[in-house]
Structure 1
């Protein structure tokens, strides 16, 4: 099994990467999140309010293509959550199974709103093969989904057990930055919806990482660009 980090653009105010993750088990190809919408590449040049700086060729489908992975090769897409910078290219992977927490899916489809509408055309399509899970779940041997709500209802993180690197916890937006690793004193960010749940999920993930001896990859940590291996390099 191996894990590759795909950095798909940067959050403009922070210079922080927008990640997706490719996990290849030998039996299945799993993509965690699909990144910001490919049709927004270059939009930041004309729109000062565009939150994500995405250059042409930095979208997740393009990054996968450079690794020799075609959309039809992806068996499973794990949705940490359906915010637009994480679900902007779901439509590219029409043949995949999409795995999301049941509570998050229910929240996402329940009402209108700019946050849900931004990438909804990509993920809310007829014929999508949704698999709705409830709480912590083994997805495949060596890959576990960890419910970590608070940023949004039903957010999920991913624990990957690699044979050489050891356990790696993809915290996603439950712990977006290293500054948020302290459950009691961490900042609450503008897009976090429930402070109490954010702090509870932070504690849950930090405790899990400590118990497992896992490396935590924070979702939008600027230092990830220099401290971590980006594809085509990998963790195995």
Structure 2
């Protein structure tokens, strides 16, 4: 990562924003629909302690934690990567007008995702590849757009890269994630099944190379098919970790899962493995939901990890 892209974590939260940095030969555009206090901090990361948050309040607040309400700050965001002449969209947000009865914050959501893409100079037909890091409702919503005839792919020229393990877990053959949540059936039917029906889905497992700079890698635990996207271009390295991390406190305490993790032990193992490589190879860590500047360097500290410099992005 170039030094000029690094700044302190004092930047205030942004809402409805478009930002960009350049890593090697890849332009990285951050699409932020919302960044705000979400849920109580230890509801989001149940194994974390009050002391962990309070002892790090000087940098957690205000970008990642609101001390007065003890609520974690979470961003709803996606990433556009311009790489090798291709436009790659990483995760597609909540989507508008969705039935999500198990998730009141996303039920009938109305946002300006396509407007933000337009501000970044990206039209739906420009997108060549859509990456769903995993199949949770806030990562697949704009896969499709509602029409009088039902749901159709929003990005009609794109190949959608979908983790095979998640497709199997959330799909009908597994009873839509064992039928535990109505949202899982609804999201598959409105955001995943139409991609299959249009012939635009590519299921992958293990490793999948997108181009010379971008590679997908399985990192299961948060969901059965959770994945990370690695960027390597010139001397710059980054890893887009999806929901492997919801808060920076999980870098300090990687044994702490979010409340949304499907397989806690597997999630911890994946988190440690990804953080170890990020520290050893100086990969910029780019989680799906961090507020503030949204990305951070990680270094080893004893048997654990510490936060390095935060990565800045110029407002577009």
Give TM-score scaled by structure 2 length.
0.64
CA shift digits 1:167-224 (9 cap, x unpaired): 11111101222111256x5322221111111011001111221232111122222333
- Deviation for aligned residue 1:52: 8.5
- Deviation for aligned residue 1:123: 2.3
CA shift digits 1:104-149 (9 cap, x unpaired): 1111213233342343302221214111112122221110112111
**Cross-structure match for 1:50:** 105
Tell me which of 128, 131, 134 is aligned to 1:78: 131
Pair 1:155 & 2:210 matched = no
Structure with the greater alpha carbon radius of gyration: 2
Q: 2:32, 2:121 → 1: CA distance?
A: 16
CA shift digits 1:28-76 (9 cap, x unpaired): 1100011111336xx9xxxx9325896642x2x2211112211110000
Map of 1:64-213 to 2, 5 A cutoff?
64-91=117-144, 92-109=154-171, 110-112=174-176, 113-120=181-188, 121-125=190-194, 126-163=197-234, 166-182=236-252, 185-213=254-282
Aligned to 1:191, the other structure's residue is in SS state coil
Pair 1:8 & 2:33 matched = yes
After superposition, the Cα gap between the structure-2 partners of 1:182 and 1:137, relative to the gap in structure 1 and judged at 3 Å, is: farther
Q: 2:276, 2:108 → 1: CA distance?
A: 33
- Deviation for aligned residue 1:27: 1.9
Aligned to 2:105, the other structure's residue is in SS state coil
Q: 2:120, 2:87 → 1: CA distance?
A: 13
More strand by share: 2
**Cross-structure match for 1:216:** 285
Q: Which is worse superposed, 126-135 or 110-119?
A: 110-119
Tell me which of 11, 15, 35 is aligned to 2:93: 35
Aligned to 1:89, the other structure's residue is in SS state helix
Give TM-score scaled by structure 1 length.
0.83
Q: 2:285, 2:200 → 1: CA distance?
A: 30
Structure 1: which 5+ runs fail to align? Answer: none
Q: 2:87, 2:225 → 1: CA distance?
A: 23
Structure 2: which 5+ runs fail to align? Answer: 1-25, 40-71, 145-153, 296-309
Root mean square deviation of aligned Cα: 2.7
After superposition, the Cα gap between the structure-2 partners of 1:36 and 1:168, relative to the gap in structure 1 and judged at 3 Å, is: same
The runs of 4+ residues in structure 1 deviating greater than 3 Å are: 51-56, 223-233
Tell me which of 75, 78, 89 is aligned to 1:17: 75
Q: 2:129, 2:272 → 1: CA distance?
A: 28
